[in-house]
Chain A
């Protein structure tokens, strides 16, 4: 950060210096940046694994690495991306930074716990990385028993312990958000005046607090069976392997919503800001987040349609899974309706929002395919499922995360990123993503199983296309890394509210002062009231 160029008032970045001032900070904004730095490293690591997977799959017979190594690659790709990147991504970075400001608070309710949750993620991540460099783990991120408990000769316990510890990071962040939203709102900031980003994070936090402990319990049970041979999941010891799947998915399906609900919250902010209209159907969108959080806990059995659960259990879970699709569809329709007669800007965050809506629509609609029993029997455990969840998690969650980073970058750093480069990279990511994952839908329906190191020759053309797409995607992800770093020094100085946005975080300086607001705002207006900001923003920006 070059403070010489621009004379700056005191803000959270220049208020104190030195490593200690960062590692012991209780400022939610600094902690958000600690998270940003940490998960960017994990994203790069997960990306390296993905690259190696895609390169290996260029050839049907796998010439680059052994099957054992390949199995470790997809396992570690999944573990890193899900537990150490996607789950903390939007809540811990963006949510941490803007959520308190959005409701007019000076910090989260428990600043020390907030710092603790970052340390837990780092400790959990260090354990997982220790497992990886010691030899890796090959169970798949799903740790299915009895393979994980009785058969795998890899670092299952160290990895599970890392996830266990990181889980507490997630629980504490959720807890912090819930209490903050209940107790720290500024005067006049009623529940229905909160930005939809806050609603989405509130719903996410409920899942984190209620779901993650079940994952922790499940991992402890895996530990007990693997280390003490207590028969829980392995039939040879008297256990039931399908019980593990029920426990695992009871957390891991809601975990999908931990990843995608915050993304939906971001979308509401972006679509509204860049079309200068209140989100169409504010309350419907707010409650749909809550509905997703609740219904998300009732659909885990759709991962078990062919696992041997009863016929009628399968039918009930299929039925409920279609219900969880409805609130997601409602959100997409409402965002689209928000654009109608708006004033639509093509700024980079909005390009990501457009990309999100397109990819999430495809990801969501293909979710109906896998919720439908007759189709799922054929496509489950194939590349169809791989494509489906990458459309949701990469096409959805990561597009929204990048959109959010661009949107709040000026607030976080006080600098603008280079707009032309940013638009270009958004376009590259969109095209690269589709080229990578669309062929995988076709591969899946053809019957290509997932987690295959080698495959029949007839699938090669589609795999080569997918790998080509992944190379494009990699370029798209590298560009922001470069220009964001560049902008810290050379980016144009950003005003308090460069986008003409309505959130309270835009009513304080960029970067914000240590305690966010010189004066706690009093809110006597609804969310997304653009008549208050249009005009004012011209002067500042």
Chain B
């Protein structure tokens, strides 16, 4: 392999990031050359000719000071605004993003597609679609990094972090762990395979016939007997989960909370943290009984419990879940049903 000096651009953000880089490089080159040239010129032009040289003392000049304060300040504010606008975009996954879950552990990446495909250290994604990853770690902090996409996000135990990218070029790109995580940190890598949409569909179809994530979640829900208390019609000892996802929940403590992935995860692993108004703190913790992947399956199952029930996985106003590449690679996003607005 030859000597490469610049990384491949394989996502929409990579192009924007590189444009900002060119600007920064131009500014840096200009000021470096200005300083170097001035130093070289002065050092030669004003070299000491006699030990008795006594140059005229100059104590400063306000005009110059203001000039070289204001110009760098202006330039850095451009850098700030430009960089922040890219960051803002990087932090907001588009509404039609395809959801994939990531669970990191020492020293591997476990990736789960909505359709049920599971991968380790290799992620297949279709070209031209925004992909949103929801990530957590089972142990220490890791960081999901794909240089060709110019994106990176720490994967922190105990919480969900998200990252998104839209691949623009088919190919195989390095996936690295960028946050030091112990012995095999440098081997905690893999590949992101960006495929043409039809190839991706073929890959999905060729995968082992596992149920979707939501179906896995349903099995888990049943085996853990969650339904004994969380009855769908609300007659159980615990709140009904139908239409929960995306709704705001009134808490016994008086506050309200948005029922997002992090809330559901916390309610499974640490149920006493937030008690729903009108209910008793009866639920035991499932910490240790459910893996991070199991929690993700349960979340997907709960998301699928929309009041209209059965037909379509639900979403919410904020982050609609695009589910479903099931019916071929067509780009029309699935119809989104809003959960009941109680």
Contact = CB atoms under 8 A, between A and B. Distances in A.
B259 interface: no
B64 interface: yes
A38 interface: no
B32 A315 contact: no
A140 to B, nearest CB: 5
Interface string A321-349: 01101100110111011011111111000
Contact of A361 (B32, B82, B180, B182): B32
Contact of A277 (B58, B154, B176): B58
Nearest to B7: A446
Interface in A429-458: 442, 445-447, 449-458
Contacts of B182: 71, 138, 147, 151-152
Given A306-B152, A446-B6, A371 B52 contact: no
Given A339-B39, A342-B55, A445 B6 contact: yes
B145 A340 contact: no
Kindly name the residue among A306, A332, A346 whose own CB sees the greatest number of chain B CB atoms within 10 A: A306
Interface SS of B by simple majority: mixed
Given A67-B184, A284-B65, A446-B4, A374 B82 contact: yes
A368 B32 CA distance: 13
A354 to B, nearest CB: 6
In this complex, the interface size class of chain A, counting residues with CB under 8 Å from chain B, is: 35 or more
B176 A144 contact: no
B31 A361 contact: yes
A147 B64 contact: no
Contacts of A534: 52-54
Contact of B60 (A68, A284, A339): A284
Interface in B36-74: 36, 38-39, 42-43, 46-49, 51-61, 64-65, 68-69, 72-73
B156 interface: yes
Contacts of A500: 51
B61 to A, nearest CB: 8
Nearest to B158: A235
A357 B20 CA distance: 26
B209 interface: no
B58 A454 contact: no
Nearest to B147: A447
Contacts of A334: 60, 65
Contacts of B60: 280-284, 334
Interface stretch (A174-182, A255-263, A377-385): A377-385
A375 B24 contact: yes
Interface SS of A by simple majority: helix
Interface in A53-92: 67-68, 71
Contacts of B27: 365, 368
Interface string A204-240: 0000000000000000000000000000001110001
A531 interface: yes
Interface of B: 1, 3-7, 16-17, 20-21, 24, 27-28, 31-32, 35-36, 38-39, 42-43, 46-49, 51-61, 64-65, 68-69, 72-73, 76-77, 79-80, 82-88, 90-91, 106, 139-141, 143, 145, 147-148, 150-154, 156-159, 161, 174, 176-187
30 contacts: A67-B183, A277-B55, A278-B57, A278-B58, A283-B60, A308-B159, A308-B161, A318-B80, A336-B35, A336-B38, A342-B42, A342-B55, A344-B43, A344-B46, A344-B48, A346-B47, A361-B35, A369-B24, A371-B83, A373-B86, A374-B17, A376-B83, A381-B143, A446-B4, A447-B147, A449-B178, A454-B186, A457-B1, A530-B54, A534-B53
Given A372-B20, A445-B6, 20 more contacts: A147-B182, A277-B55, A308-B159, A314-B87, A319-B80, A323-B76, A339-B42, A342-B42, A344-B42, A369-B21, A371-B80, A372-B83, A373-B86, A374-B20, A377-B17, A377-B152, A447-B7, A449-B177, A458-B1, A530-B54
